[in-house]
Structure formats: structure tokens, C-alpha cells
Structure 1
Amino acid sequence: MDRNFNRRTFIKGTGAAGLAGLAGCSGGPDESTPTETSDDGTSTTTTSDGGSAGGSATVNVGMVYATGGLGDGSFNDQAQIGIQQAAEEFDVSYDESQPDSVSQFAQYQQQYAQSTNPNYDLVSCIGFLQADSLSKTAPDYPDQDFMIVDSVVDEPNVRSYTFAEHEGSFLVGQLAGILTTKSFSAGSGSTQSDSTNVGFVGGVKSSLIQKFEAGYKAGVKYANSNVDVATSYVGSFNDPSAGKEAALAMYNSGADIVFHAAGNTGTGVFQAAQEKGRFAIGVDRDQSKTKPDYADVILASMVKRVDTAVYNAVKAQVNGNFQGGTSVSLGLADEGVAIVYGQQLGADISSSVKSEIEASMQAIIDGEISVPTNPNQVSG
């Protein structure tokens, strides 16, 4: 493996196709950002802070994104916001890699760790699916600092960031549980007066995504124990067609609202909601903004501040106080997760409903409501 790979290269096996994927998201190349193709066919670009990625910087960061890539309007894009903010505020330069599959994680982690031109001060690994690879890579490069989002890797050179996804999911579940029992219309969606069903679509089934499911179900049942919750895992974070198929089945069975925790697969959930005139709930970012074409059916989003985790890790590296071998969990009390109402539909949700949800949020923070992390722990 080349230990001196060009740091201006976006390490993406699909070459120019990867560049096209970046063009549609914040910080990626656009008509005003020069791009070029190197002799080996890989695409290159300049960093979003206005300087060449080949320029000198106090701190160099390598970003290894989750499968699904940038432009998902969700998890990866939220992580990118964090590194962009750090690059704007500090003397930081960064490069980004978008693996196509789980099998590529180790390659990209190692490539950054092996590089000597430049030397990467921090390698950011985005997503729980990177944990297995990182647990093997980190010991091989003890002088390299790593951070990982959504999993804990117990190595002295890794700082782990996790979130209380179940807490934020409880709030959007409560919203769904309340509205499905009402006659509610807004934008292009409406509830069915003769049905009290809602749904959840997950990407890859895992203990992490089941935290979303558990919190959502608990919130639904807290609102109304008689509301049924349908669940489907499609096995991918980048399959909108499968997401649409799963959501359509739920809407056809009477579901009024479907919450997804499925990355770009969730785009299909939004498509299904529009097709059926029902509602959806987004994840990780305010998807009524990042997926504006579907804002007329997105009631709210369960925002997860992956950007905060990335930013804080880079800031610590810049300040010389990065602590490996530690983990941080961000919940409602830390503003690590939150409910954000849709830009178009939020105003149609009554203040009384919002007050109920706000009261639950405070009760969770105060420890008066204990939110389960496993769907099997949800009663009702």
C-alpha cells in the first residue's frame, strides 16, 4: 500500500462516480470548486475551507464515512458538517473517503494511518459498522489517534462517541402516537381516522438501530398503549427502493406515520409517504431541510449531533488534549439528540402536542422516565 498517497485524493473506488455523489451535498465540489482527475483515475478536489488540501495545516484529519456516502441528507452529511465547522474555526485540513462496503473500512483506516505525506493527526471513523475493523487497525498503529462514532472501541488511541438515540426516538414516537389517534392533515399528508398504526423502518439490524426502534416504540406506547407499531429492517443504509417497499407495506396496512433510522434508505420512506398521502419522520438531521422535496410529508426528525462529536474530537486534537481510551455518550441533557419539527409541517402541530412532548423530554432528563434500549423491553 502506498504510504505517501496524494492527500488531495478522495479515496473512492468508483472514481468519477464518487465525485458526482459529492456534488449534491454541502461542502462537495460544485461549479466553482476546481476538480481534476489524477493519472490513476481517482478524483481530486480542494478542501472546503478555501485552501488546497495539499497546503500545510497544524492538524490533518482523515474522514472515513459510513456506507451510503455523502449526500444522504442524514448521518454522513451530519458528520461532514462537524469537520467543515472545525476547518473553518481552526487551522485544520481534511480529506474524505467514502467506502462502498464494510469490507473497505480497514483499507481506508490503514491508508490514513500509514500516510507520512501528510501525517494524519486524527482519523475519524463514522458509523458503528467500522468498529470491528478499527479494533484491529488501532493496535497496529499505536501512535495514531482515532475517533469513532456510534460504537465503543476499547483501545488506548481511540476516543469513542455514542448517543442516547433511544431518548430522542422516544419523543418522535410520542408525536406519532398522539397524531395517529387524531384527525390530522398538513401538507400532502393526513391520518386515517379508522386506524391507529405507525411504523419503523431500520437499515442494518443491530443493537444500535434497535435503540431507535426501542425508543420509538416506547414513545408511541407512552402516548397511547393501543397504537400498533410495525417494524421492518431492510438490511442496508443505501437502498431507497427497499425502504420504499417496506414503508408502502406499512401504509397499505393502515400506518399513518413511519419513522426511519436507515440512512439513504429512508429516502424511499419519504417517497412512499408522498405516494400514499401519509407522514414520515426523519433521522440524524432535519430532513425537511436536507430532503426538501419531501418536506410536505416530514412531520419531524430525530436529530443526532454527529457533527458535535466530530467537531469536539478535532477541537481536542487542535488543543492538544485529545484523550484516547475514553468514551462519551451524548443524550437529551447534552443536546446530543433532539426532536426537530418539520420546516413545512411543524406549524400545523398544535402547541398542546408540543407541550406534551416537551414535558416528556424534561422528564427523561430528570430521570422520571426511563427509556428502554431494547425493543423487547417495551411493554404494551
Structure 2
Amino acid sequence: MTPMKALMASATALGLLAGAAAAEPALIFDLGGKFDKSFNEAAHTGAQRWKEETGGSYKELEMQSEAQREQALRRLAETGANPIVMTGFAFGEVLNTVAPDYPDTKFVLIDMAVDQPNVQSNVFNEGEGSYLAGVMAAQASESGTVGFIGGMDVPLIHKFECGYRQGFLAARPDGKVIVNYTGTTPAAWNDPVKGGELAKAQQSQGADVIYAAAGGTGIGVLQAAADMDILSIGVDSNQNHLHPGKVLTSVVKRVDNAVFDAFTVGENVEPGTKVWDVRSDGVILAMDDNNAPLVTPEMTQAVEEAKAKIISGEIEVHDYMTDNTCPVD
């Protein structure tokens, strides 16, 4: 089935027929699917919360290939969906092309900033949350060596990596962070087997805490870490429950809140850029019954102190995406 036919079949199955009367919000998931237990699933959670709380309905679409990004946006806009929410930085370039053609439609982009009069951009300070995870990993590591496994080798994921390394090395200057990326194409987001292999390789080099910022690939990292009886750190969604007692924490991006807010405001979405950071609790470390036995009072104190200093400005977490550098390189 061609990408266009697959999209048409998906849209038809979802009831996305031209001429639909009532404007409904819509959500397009990035590659990896809405149940990736990570980024996309966080967006789905927010949409479902809105549906349950309001009784409203929304359209959703899962892409099968990169070629469908523009097709998906245009089809939803033509059916009257408003606003249309997209998950993933990869929609940025396409949205710059599509948004001007539908001036009466509001578009909401998550994870990338696009400057258009009918676009709201939601960006997260993942570096700050990753810094806190690094501080926590420094407390938890017995070997003094930890790991980071990224998905697609792009600046956004280097932002996670850089924040993590800054936090870890600030707390443990003599420590070591091993870094690997899964690949350079979008397939890197959905390769749990490769993620598991990289985790095993890092463990063989002494890593006893591994942070995965890799979408669906990260599920393989967390599984391998649990199998090897070392700790992992989840990302985007709270992944602590996947391996209770083995996931130290998760760096949660409140993507669910971004989607919920956009659906709630509806067609009155304000254009511009919304920043979700540690100060606004837009990026948090997940703490629950699943990781409580792993978290010592010393860890909690170290994280809270670092968080307070980030908020006050005493600690400035360098944003890799500003200049494609990391100060601890």
C-alpha cells in the first residue's frame, strides 16, 4: 500500500471525511505510534483526559511514513479540524509550508518553534529535567559510570544528553558518562532491540545507571537494564511502572498538559511560543510507589537543592540547541 493510500485508509477509518460539520480538535502522532509508552503516549493521555472531562470528541491520526506529514496536515485542515495538534519536531518544516494555506485553522506544535500567525509552539526545557536526572544518577551510581542512550542523533536529543551530563558531572566530577545514539533516521525511535544491545554494551563498560531518551527504542533499554539488574531512567512519560524497583526515575515532559490545554482552548489557541520548564513544572522527575524504594533522602535533597538553584538562576543549564555545544565536552 502506498503512503497516500495508507493515509487515506487511516483517515477514512477515523471518520475524517471532507465536509464534516462540527469543528473538532485533532491530534497527529509522530512515528512510533500513540502507544509508544513515551512521547506519543503522553500526548494521547492528555487528549483522553480532555475527552473524559469534557465529553468532547477529537480526531487522531497515526502516520505510517515520513511522506505522510504534509498529507495528514492538509487532510485534517480540509475536514475542518481545529486546532490541529502535532507531536514532534519533525513537523516543523512541513508546518511552515502548510499553515499559511489555512489561515483560519489553528495549529499547535509540540517540541519545535514555528513562527506563523496561526501556530502555537510548545517547547520544553528538557535540559533542566535531564540535569536533575543526572544529579540523581550521581547519587545512585555505585561504579561512578553511567550511560545515556539517545534515539535519533539530532540536536534536540543532544539537549537531553547535555543536561544529563552537566548534572551528573556537577555532582560527581570524577565520574564518567558513556553516550550512544541509536541511529540517524526516524527508525531510531522504534528499535527496542538495538536499544537493548546498546544498554548491554554500556553495562559491559561499567555503567550501572542508563538514561534512555529514545522513544520506543528506550523500552528496550529499560528492559535490558532490568534484566542486568542495573538501574535505568525513563523519559517523556512516567515509565517507572514498566520495571518497578529498577527504574530510578523518569524525566517527564508534560506533553499531556500541552495537548489538554490546546484542546480546552480550542479554536482560540493563542499563537506564539509556550515554554515548559522546571519552574512551571513542565518538566519533572517522576516519584511514585514504583521507585520509592530506590530514592534515598540524600537523593531527594540533592535534587531539590539543584532544582531550587535552577529556578533562582544560580545554576544555568546550558541549552545545547542554542549553539550545538555542551560545556562538559
TM-score by length of 1: 0.78
CA distance in 2, matches of 1:238, 1:154: 30
Matched, 1:153 2:101: no
Distance in 1 of aligned mates of 2:275 and 2:103 = 24
Aligned with residue 95 of structure 1, among 59, 75, 82: 59
8 Å Cα contact 2:38/2:215 also seen in 1: yes
**Cα distance in 1 between the residues matched to 2:150 and 2:56:** 35
Measured in 2, the distance between the counterparts of 1:166 and 1:284 equals: 12
The change in CA–CA distance for 1:348 and 1:169 in structure 2 (over 3 A counts) is same
Q: Which residue of 2 aligns with 1:205?
A: 153
Q: CA deviation at 1:247?
A: 1.2
State the distance in 1 between where 2:10 and 2:148 align: 41
3-state SS of 2:33 partner: coil
Deviation, structure 1 residue 43: 7.7
Within 5 A, what are the aligned runs for 1:251-290? 251-289=203-241
1:362 aligns with 308
AA matched with 1:366: S
Contact 1:12–1:98 at 8 Å: present in 2 too?
no
- Root-mean-square deviation (Å): 2.3
Unaligned runs of 5+ in 2: none
- Paired residue secondary structure (1:263): coil
**SS of residue matched to 2:169:** helix
For 2:6 and 2:103, locate their aligned partners in 1 and report how far apart those are by CA, in whole Å.
27
* C-alpha deviation, 1:103, in angstroms: 2.1
| Equivalent residue in structure 2 for 1:13, among 1, 6, 11 | 6
Superposed displacement of residue 349, structure 1: 1.9
Distance 1:12 1:161, change over 3 A: farther
Percent of residue pairs bearing the same amino acid type:
34
Shift of residue 45, structure 1, vs aligned partner: 6.5
Task: Give the Cα–Cα distance (whole angstroms) in 2 for the partners of residues 12 and 358 of structure 1.
Answer: 51
Q: Give 1:1-380 correspondences, 5 Å limit.
A: 13=6, 44=13, 59-90=23-54, 92-115=56-79, 119-180=80-141, 182=142, 195-235=143-183, 236-289=188-241, 291=242, 294-317=243-266, 321-324=268-271, 326-341=272-287, 343-374=289-320, 376-379=325-328
For 1:355, give the aligned amino acid.
Q
Q: Equivalent residue of 1:87, what SS?
A: helix
Question: How many matched pairs?
Answer: 316
- Aligned with 1:283: secondary structure? strand
Deviations 1:198-254 (A, max 9, x none): 111111122211111111001101110111111111121111111111111101111
Shift of 1:344: 2.6
For residues 85-110 of structure 1, the C-alpha deviation after alignment (integer angstroms, 9 at most, x for no partner) is 22233363211111122221111111
Deviation at 1:332, TM superposition (A): 0.7
Contact preservation (8 Å) 1:173, 1:217: yes
Task: Find the aligned partners of 1:341 and 1:43 in 2 and give their Cα distance.
Answer: 41
Structure 2 counterpart of 1:376, which letter? Answer: T
Code of the residue aligned with 1:338 in structure 2: it is I
Q: CA deviation at 1:378?
A: 2.8
Letter in 1 for 2:165: K
User: Are the aligned partners of 2:212 and 2:222 in contact in 1 as well (CA < 8 Å)?
Assistant: no
Bigger-Rg structure (1/2): 1
From the superposition, tell whether residues 348 and 203 of structure 1 become closer, same or farther in structure 2 (CA, over 3 Å).
closer
**Structure 1: which amino acid aligns with 2:190?**
N
TM-score (norm 2): 0.89
Does structure 2 retain, via aligned residues, the 8 Å contact 1:298–1:342?
no
One-letter code aligned to 1:273: A
Deviations 1:327-351 (A, max 9, x none): 1111011110011135333223211
Greater helix share, 1 or 2? 2
Asked if structure 2 preserves the Cα contact closer than 8 Å seen for 1:199 and 1:258, the reply is yes
- Secondary structure of the structure 1 residue equivalent to 2:85: strand
SS in 2 for 1:102: coil
Higher relative contact order (CA 8 A, sep 6+): 2
Could you tell me how far apart the structure 2 residues matched to 1:379 and 1:358 are? 22
* Alignment CA distance shift 1:62-1:80 (3 Å): same
